[in-house]
Amino acid sequence: MKRTAILHIGTEKTGTTSIQEALYLNRELLSGFGIHFLQCAGEKNNRHFPSSCMADEKYDDFFKDRQITSIELKERFRADFLDRFATEINSLGESIHTVLISSEHFHSRTNTLAEIIAVSEVLAPFFDQVRIICYLREQAQTCNSLYSTAIKAGLNPDPDIFFSRCSVDNNYYNYYEMLSNWASIFGSENLFVRKFDRKFFRNGDLLDDFFSLLNDELPQYVNRDFEIQNESLSMLGMFLGRAVNVVLPKYTDHGYVDLARVEAIDFIYENFKGKGLSIPEDVKVRIYETFYDSNVLVNEAFLGGSGALFEPASKAVDSTLSDKDFNIDSMVEIFSIVNRKVFPLSDEYADALRDGAVALENTDLKKALSLMLLAEKIRPDGPFIRKKISEYKRKIRSL
């Protein structure tokens, strides 16, 4: 039996986690409407699918996390996935007319024509129609949001270098080139492109908008009883995350994921949420103007509109550290986790610990001492730090 496949390809940073949580929670509801949410490629994010179609020379975190480090192991993974995929599709009942596959990694990982062709070759034996759903977010906003994700992935990104990569020659951000590649394989008539903007969502709601693309009646029945973790970090959270990535690389010398780093990063994302680094105004303007012409082409070719695709990015919020950023208890805990291993922290990271200690010295001397002692480990010859440690110890003894 031939069916329709719907590929939700992202893009990244457009609410894909929320959509996938809703899809997983509403599997039975979808089934009642003749729609099956693929499970063999990952319960929520169907990442196994795009990973199976990546070029031989590409080895991202998906493969590294699984110790897939050679062509032979990658081929074994592909063969296993294709077998599981065929088994799942062939097991579906006659009432299922549509299979939904969702992963933002179709956008970020299968970004060449050869890789998109590989996607089509997996689908071709089972489906007589393939539709593509894709949400687009203004490039400067996407780049800004991606910065926190890069830290969670184990990087220590220099902001200037990171933001400079948001350019038209980067298919990740050049939506016209990216969508044109997908259209050349599946046909532009099968691409359903939406702006990631509440003003353009059905009922002003992302889930209503997405589910209505599957079936116009679905939104009223969707169960929304789930919680999405906010992955935005405060300025101090970004600072601490970068520091952890310096002293605890994501992978050990043997190529395994460092569990101490996982613990530390998870703790940071739980305790240092907020609005962190914002792209400077001049960089936002540069990005908007850089993509203006190609975004006009996107609007004309894929949304049936004309003129600018996005409004200019809003003014950046202040991205400096403030007193409320210093969650002292959590700072002590995160550096205690990191301190279980002996790695040198670069000197710049002593400042946050020193300033946190000073901020606390009039309310909790013991915690202030704990922070200053951690600062001393980074900057053992710092005269101010050593002076404060002596002062704190003297005051504590006199209590």
Round to whole Å and give the CA distance between 103 and 111.
Answer: 13
Q: Give residue 55's pLDDT.
A: 97
pLDDT (0 to 100) of residue 235: 81
pLDDT of residue 254: 77
Cβ atoms 228, 18 nearer than 8 A = yes
Q: What CA–CA distance (Å, rounded) separates 55 from 110?
A: 8
Question: What are the structural domains, with CATH classification, of the chain?
Answer: 3-137+172-221 (3.40.50), 235-275+318-398 (no CATH)
b/e map 133-169, b = 16+ CB within 10 Å: bbbbbbbbbbbbebbbebbbebeebebeebbeebeee
Q: What is the mean pLDDT of each run of 10 residues along the chain (399 residues)?
A: 93 95 97 98 97 96 93 97 98 97 97 97 97 97 90 89 93 96 98 97 97 97 85 81 82 82 85 81 94 97 96 69 60 65 64 82 83 83 92 85
The rounded distance, in Å, linking the Cα atoms of 139 and 356 is 35
Distance between CA atoms of residues 292 and 217, nearest Å: 36
Can you give the pLDDT at residue 59? 94
pLDDT of 252 reads 81
- Please enumerate in sequence order all residues whose Cβ is within 8 A of that of 123, keeping only pairs 6 or more positions apart, or say none: 5, 130
CA 43 to CA 243: how far, in whole Å? 32
Give CA separation, 163 vs 48, 244, 279, 280, 294, in Å. Answer: 29, 21, 8, 10, 19
Query: What pLDDT sits at residue 341?
Result: 58
**If we measure between CA atoms, which residue out of 229, 211, 228 comes closest to residue 220?**
211
